[in-house]
Amino acid sequence: MTLIEALILSTTIVLVLVSPMTGSFLKCWADRAGVGQRVRDGRSYCDSCGKTLQARDLIPILSWAMNGGKSRCCGEPLRWTLMTAEITSLLLAIWAVLVVSPPLLLPALLIAWMLQATALLAVPAPRQATIIGMILSVFALCLAWFDLFGDVQTHLLGFALGLLVALVAWTGATDPGARFLQAATLLPPLGALLGVSGMGVALAIGLLFAALHNAVARALRRDGEPVVTAAASLAFGWAGGAWIIWIYGPSLFSGAF
């Protein structure tokens, strides 16, 4: 194994191992934003008894499994949604490793994490979600500018279209909790990532993902847990559709975007 191959392999392993931690942080950010807190407001605590959690309680995925899905401090059942972001980040990292060429692995993971962040924050923290979405848009346009995927003009047009529709949704909605108002945060980065053609397909696929996400969330919801809104499901669905088309779009549409 050459030095370059060893560096690529070690970097890949590190990125995969770090991915659940990224999901855990994003989920903590979204949960705290949902109750009016900031992500930096103190250490993590038990949702049931309020006790400060120890390091062994915060190992992504493993802490849940080792404690049998219950809080170690008080024995109360943990919300299953606490682990979904961690598992999603891990699966996205493994997916990228299996599909994306090594030079594009880090950009692919950055895209995956920013899509996940935008989807998680779209409802509880729309302002932060919009900022992350715009950063993702600029990042995608830079990749297109350097001819790493697609034609930059097509991606610019997709971004402009997504931004226009999002602005109409943001300024035209009278109810700040309207589902499209919150999920529209995903539209500019979707356009920048996929171009016009890919954006339309991703939105259509996202509607199917959103319906599935909403159905599963309602089926697994326990008494006392917050209801997953249609806006949140739509944001997750569109993020999932964007990832699918970004990963497989060039081969499916042979240069359409």
Q: pLDDT digits over 165-198, tens only?
A: 888 877 755 554 455 677 889 999 999 999 988 8
DSSP 8-state code for residue 92: H
Domain boundaries, the chain: 1-99, 104-257
Low-confidence ranges of the chain (pLDDT < 50): 176-177, 253-257
The Cα 148–Cα 209 span in angstroms is 28
**What is the DSSP secondary-structure string of 9-35?**
HHHHHHHHHHHHHHHHHHHHHHHHHHT
Closest C-alpha among 143, 149, 146, 139 to residue 118: 139
pLDDT attached to residue 248? 86
Q: Which two tokens stand for residue 68?
A: 């049998």
DSSP 8-state code for residue 227: P
pLDDT attached to residue 253? 47
